[in-house]
Amino acid sequence: MISKGIETTFNKVYYLIKLSLYFWGLSFIGLVIFGVTPAMMTIVEEHDEANWDFNQIKWKNLFEKFKQNFKQGNQLLLFYLMVVLIIGYNLFIALQTKGLLFLVLDFVLIFVLFILILSFIINLAVLTFFEVTLIDSLKLSVIQFFTKTKECFLLIFGLIIVSVITYKFPGLILFISTGLLAGVISTSTKRMFQNILVD
């Protein structure tokens, strides 16, 4: 019983290491900047299909998925980067200005940035699970934020846990954190899309 539990733990750790290393390999193929988003989309999809079985993770399959995700993943990244930069610049200007109105504006802009970041993460999963256009995926991700509050909080909780673990043990970012992040995104968002996937 104990030996079975130890074996399962080691298998899951090895699974996360394998997934994480493949993520970094794919990211470097895309010169990191253009590789990170399609690589994350790829390992989220792979985690959903492999379901903790490290034998199912094959480099050839991952690379094919990476190529398919490359264009759409970078379009998504560029769109969100532009919007975040615009909101971020407005927040910077608002922080320099004193007054109650600007204080309220600061909080509104911070909330919008928070929604954007969460929407980006949900969008990764939308483009992974569904064959939709970028515009439709943006709509669906925003709708999920306002209609699936419980699942969004679970996703946020998972992201915080991964962030805290990575902050405490920075070395894990290479070997476990990205694989764990893919698992959190895949599991949380699949619950959001359960009704859609069933339909």
Identify the pLDDT of residue 166.
92
Q: What pTM did the predictor assign?
A: 0.86
| Residues, the chain | 199
Task: Work out the mean pLDDT of the chain and round it to a whole number.
Answer: 87
The string of DSSP codes covering 34-99 is: TTHHHHHHHHHHHHHHHTT-GGG--HHHHHHHHHHHHHHHHHHHHHHHHHHHHHHHHHHHHHHS-S
Q: Can you tell me the distance from the alpha carbon of 86 to that of 149, in angstroms, rounded to the nearest whole number?
A: 26
Identify the pLDDT of residue 197.
54
Smallest CA-to-CA distance from 124 within 113, 140, 111 is with: 140
Q: What is the 3-state secondary structure (H, E, C) of 97-108?
A: CCCHHHHHHHHH
Domain holding 43, by residue range, is 2-198
CB 36 within 8 A of CB 27: yes
Six token digits for residue 39: 């690589």
The per-residue pLDDT for range 69-125, each reduced to its tens digit, is 999 999 999 999 999 999 989 888 888 888 788 788 889 989 999 888 888 999 988
The answer, yes or no, to whether residue 65 has pLDDT greater than 60, is: yes
Band (pLDDT 50/70/90 cuts) for residue 1 is low
Residue 135, burial from CB neighbour count under 10 angstroms (0-12, 13-18, 19+):
exposed
Structural domain count of the chain: 1
